[in-house]
Amino acid sequence: MSKSFVIGISGSIGSGKSLIRHLLALRGVLTVDADELTHFLLAEDKSGYRAALQLFGDQILTKDGRIDRGRLGKIVFNDPQQLRILEDAIHPLVGEVFRTMLDNTACPLVAVEAIKLYESDLIRVVNSRWFVNSRVNSQIARLKTTRGMTHRQIADRLEKQAFPKDMKIDYYIENSRHITDAWEQVERVWCALMTGSVFRSAQKALQKKNPMFILDLPQIKDLHPDAQVPIFQILHDEKGKNLEQLVLKSRVFLSPLGQGKTYFLWGFDHFNTVIKGISNPCEEDVFLSGLEKLEELTRFWNGNCLVVPLKKEHADLKNELILRGYREFHSFDQRSCPYLLFDPLIEGTIETHLVKPLPGGIWRLIP
């Protein structure tokens, strides 16, 4: 059994599993999306890539030799037998990577989101099983908004999904209402788990080891209106009505810089930490101190790299970051750091992106 306490999150497509996972990340939990591990495994020359190529041939490749997940999806989601063949090849690899990650992480609390949790090896390392429910109309609305799926596509996917009748579930979370309702349910489950000595020890260890403070939902809600305004602007919301809902929908984190009302806004996607913005100007030494803590947290979460966008007027800061091991994104050979390809914020922007690869990231564990 892993030295970390592992929460397993399952549920139907569009039920809001990623929201529950993000709510746990706000508490410092290392959260893992099994789909992201699959994306890594399907990267060129990785074991999942080779397996998929052997099963489906060149028809799933783009012109530059990468797997086109859209083409692959059309094949397997229209044929249950082909889907099962792909899952039989990929799921054991995902389980292998996740177990290896557990052996190599310092984070004592880990959560994994997997729609096929109960049909994969992941279930064997899970200490607490959570299942996320949602009304069908809520699922349809989410999938249309987040994935651009049509009503017919959603209906087909929902019809084909099935879960084992004998699956053991420790906690149900109903995710059809407001985001704050989901947070309250997570809080109740968290408090229930705290009555157990194993989880309580893991939670205390997390509090002790977590290198950077992250605002949870009540703290975001209580931010002074003056502190909220620049955050709304960074997240491109002109209405400025509900910050906690916006933060959760944007899947970003807020961490204080210094003693004032200045906050880092950052994301953690595909194990890449990306700075989204800073709510107010601050001294360079305050920024660098906060960045050091964020680097520690990224290592703590087995992250692959940090990405810092800079404007032209920040030339002095750019030079300092280069001295600290950062490099311009376009100077990387993307084949040596393919995890950078998973960040859509890097391409197509006018800022200079500085990247610091971290040697302990999960990418090194992908076979």
What are the structural domain ranges in the chain?
5-209, 217-365
Is pLDDT at 54 greater than 60 in this prediction? yes
Q: What is the mean pLDDT of residues 68-76?
A: 88
Superfamily of domain 5-209 in the CATH hierarchy: P-loop containing nucleotide triphosphate hydrolases (3.40.50.300)
Residue range 88-130, pLDDT digits in tens: 999 999 999 999 999 999 999 999 999 989 988 899 999 999 9
The percent of residues above 70 in pLDDT, for the chain, comes to 95
Structure confidence at residue 334 as a pLDDT band (50, 70, 90): low
Is pLDDT at 263 greater than 90 in this prediction? yes
Judge contact between 83 and 38, C-beta under 8 A: no
- Check residue 2 and give its pLDDT: 64
- Check residue 171 and give its pLDDT: 95
In angstroms, the CA 142 to CA 133 distance is: 13
Radius of gyration of the chain (CA): 21
Structure confidence at residue 165 as a pLDDT band (50, 70, 90): confident
- Check residue 343 and give its pLDDT: 61
Which of residues 134 and 231 earns the better pLDDT score? 231
Is pLDDT at 155 greater than 80 in this prediction? no
- Check residue 93 and give its pLDDT: 96
Structure confidence at residue 1 as a pLDDT band (50, 70, 90): very low
Is pLDDT at 214 greater than 60 in this prediction? yes
Q: Which residues of 247-282 are buried (b: 16+ CB within 10 A; e: fewer)?
A: bbbbebbbbbbeeeebbbbbbbebbbbbbbebbeeb
State pTM to two decimals.
0.92
Q: What is the mean pLDDT of residues 164-181?
A: 87
| Top-tier CATH class for 217-365 | alpha beta
Is pLDDT at 162 greater than 80 in this prediction? no
Is pLDDT at 76 greater than 70 in this prediction? yes
Q: What is the mean pLDDT of residues 319-343?
A: 81
